């Protein structure tokens, strides 16, 4: 029997009415089924070709813009259509934030089993907020070297070669092809100047070849750029395969000297360069330190708290956004308590930012290096009312309070939300106030009913746009303890 030909629908026009997973545009087909269209923002009327269908969801390929959205603006980035990282760059900041808040509210409501109107009736929803700068706000970026680039259909049709030497970002869904990036609009001009120097010395024909993720050969693997916004200091991580020749050692030394001599705009300076050798096939920014030029850390600060950040230290990727986020958490804390439990605390940045509000802070985090950084930063800032435990929260439930109520919880879990054991323990833990910080709003919506089962009621929601141009949005929920309704016993008549 021959293969049955797939029926190809005729192109049709769709109005994109909202954001879906990973920032794709959502619309409805003429026959009433949902459709996803990548790279098209809400408010756009676009002609699409339905490509494939999974369950009751179509995936559409955009053919032509029929009507641009309100707030349409030319993307600043020259590789906007290829990269996919800044999927909202074609609409202004106000339109971006409106679409992102709508997405977050819908995600939370669905997780709680409510409609958006029902959520709005039960919970006070505050307007979305964020930093003023829509560009040049990232303090960290990771780029990959590659031997094949991701290109548009037009470039492919024009015969532009795929193979070569490239440095940039992986295209969505492609581990093997890199979108070559001469600059990134989300980092500062000084960081772009450093990236230009790296490209000049690593992508030329005389340099060793970039890493090929398919056959695991080549030399240059990754580049990490970090910046302290408060200090103007920059830190560079160079990741290569192990150097096996004098020529490879020499080229890295020459690159380091060129970076140290790169003129940067006033107020910026290169604090250090760390060279890592990675002998693993894993496509990650990891390895053993081969050499350090200058320092292996930089200075950063939030509010009145200063931080020493090493190349791999976790820190909020947007310093301006983190300030807005932590000020919002401070606003959500509306009860004066003596003790703060800072769960999933990372390097302790939230607790340290709020240290003057509490007599004692207890932080729990599973990554030992993060806890070490938290303790060091507390010492550097002479903050003595903090205690940290390097442990998974679900493995240290005995550290949570059992009886007294004079305390507050702040939880900042990973994208998947609270571990089931943590959610169950928190649901029944004594306390009067719980602040849930969610980098994935759907996780907050999923966990809210679990907390409600123990008497925690979601009363207020805030949203922070940490990363303009992207689909990411942070949700902050304030839960308060309310008495549970007594269970009424009933008898069945015989």
- Residues acting as catalytic residues: 439
Residues 180/167, Cβ–Cβ less than 8 Å: yes
Beta bridge partners of 220: 210, 240
* Burial of 180 per CB tally in 10 Å (0-12, 13-18, 19+): buried
Distance CA 271, CA 450 (A): 47
How far apart, in whole angstroms, are the C-alpha atoms of residue 181 and residue 165? 12
Comparing CA positions, the residue from 296, 350, 286, 294 lying closest to residue 323 is: 350
The secondary structure of 463-483 as a DSSP string is EE--STTSS--EEEEEEEE-P
Q: Which two tokens stand for residue 92?
A: 């202004």
**Cα(105)–Cα(117) distance, integer angstroms:** 10
Q: The dihedral of CA 188, 191, 197, 199: what is its sign?
A: negative
Measured distance CA(278)–CA(221) in Å, rounded: 8
Beta bridge partners of 240: 220, 277
Distance between CA atoms of residues 441 and 106, nearest Å: 9
- Of 65, 60, 1, nearest to 28 by C-alpha is 60
In degrees and rounded to multiples of 5, residue 49 shows phi and psi of: -115, 120
Rounded CA-CA distance 126/339 in Å is: 27
Nearest to 150 by CA among 83, 70, 55, 240: 83
356-363 long-range contacts, CB within 8 A, separation 24+: 357/330, 357/333, 358/385, 358/408, 359/385, 360/385, 360/386, 360/387, 361/385, 361/386, 361/387, 362/386, 362/387, 362/388, 362/389, 362/399, 363/387, 363/388, 363/389
CB 241 within 8 A of CB 277: yes
Task: Decide: 222 and 237 in contact? Cβ < 8 Å.
Answer: yes
Strand partners, 407: 339
């Amino acid at each position: 029997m021959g293969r049955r030909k797939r029926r190809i629908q005729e192109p049709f026009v769709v109005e994109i009415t909202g954001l879906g997973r990973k920032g794709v545009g959502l619309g409805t087909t003429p026959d009433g089924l949902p459709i996803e269209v990548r790279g098209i923002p809400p408010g756009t009327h676009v002609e699409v070709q339905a490509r494939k269908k999974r369950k009751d969801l179509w995936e559409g390929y955009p053919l032509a813009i029929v009507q641009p959205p309100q707030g349409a603006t030319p993307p600043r980035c020259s590789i906007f259509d290829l990269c996919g990282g800044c999927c909202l760059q074609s609409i202004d900041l106000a339109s971006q934030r409106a679409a992102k808040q709508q997405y977050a509210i819908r995600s939370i409501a669905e997780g709680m089993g409510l409609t958006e109107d029902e959520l709005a009736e039960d919970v006070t929803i505050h307007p979305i907020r964020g930093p003023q700068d829509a560009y040049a706000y990232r303090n960290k970026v990771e780029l990959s070297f590659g031997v094949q680039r991701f290109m548009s259909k037009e470039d492919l049709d024009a015969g532009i070669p795929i193979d070569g030497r490239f440095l940039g970002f992986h295209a969505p869904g492609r581990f093997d092809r890199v979108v070559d990036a001469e600059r990134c609009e989300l980092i500062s001009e000084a960081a772009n100047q450093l990236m230009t120097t790296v490209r000049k010395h690593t992508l030329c024909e005389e340099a060793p070849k970039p890493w090929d993720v398919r056959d695991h050969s080549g030399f240059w693997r990754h580049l990490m750029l970090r910046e302290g916004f408060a200090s103007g200091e920059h830190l560079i991580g160079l990741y290569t395969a192990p150097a096996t020749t004098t020529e490879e050692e020499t080229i890295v030394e020459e690159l380091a000297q060129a970076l140290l001599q790169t003129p940067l705009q006033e107020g910026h300076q290169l604090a250090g360069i760390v060279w890592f050798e990675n002998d693993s096939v894993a496509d990650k920014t990891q390895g053993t330190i081969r050499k350090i030029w200058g320092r292996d850390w930089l200075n950063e600060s939030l509010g009145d708290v200063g931080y020493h950040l090493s190349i791999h230290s976790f820190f909020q990727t947007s310093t301006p956004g983190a300030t807005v986020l932590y000020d919002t958490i401070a606003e959500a804390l509306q009860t004066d308590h003596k003790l703060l439990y800072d769960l999933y605390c990372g390097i302790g940045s939230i607790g340290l930012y709020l240290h003057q509000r509490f007599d004692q802070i207890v932080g729990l985090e599973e990554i030992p290096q993060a806890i070490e950084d938290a303790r060091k930063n507390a010492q550097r800032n002479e903050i003595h009312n903090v205690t940290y435990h390097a442990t998974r929260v679900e493995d240290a439930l005995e550290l949570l309070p059992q009886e007294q109520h004079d305390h507050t919880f702040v939880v900042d879990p990973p994208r998947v939300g609270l571990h089931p054991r943590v959610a169950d323990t928190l649901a029944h833990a004594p306390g009067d106030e719980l602040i849930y910080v969610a980098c994935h709003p759907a996780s907050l919506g999923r966990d809210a009913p679990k907390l409600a089962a123990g008497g925690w009621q979601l009363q207020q929601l805030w949203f922070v746009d940490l990363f303009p141009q992207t689909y990411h949005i942070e949700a902050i929920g304030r839960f308060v303890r309310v008495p549970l309704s007594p269970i009424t016993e009933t008898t069945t008549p015989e």
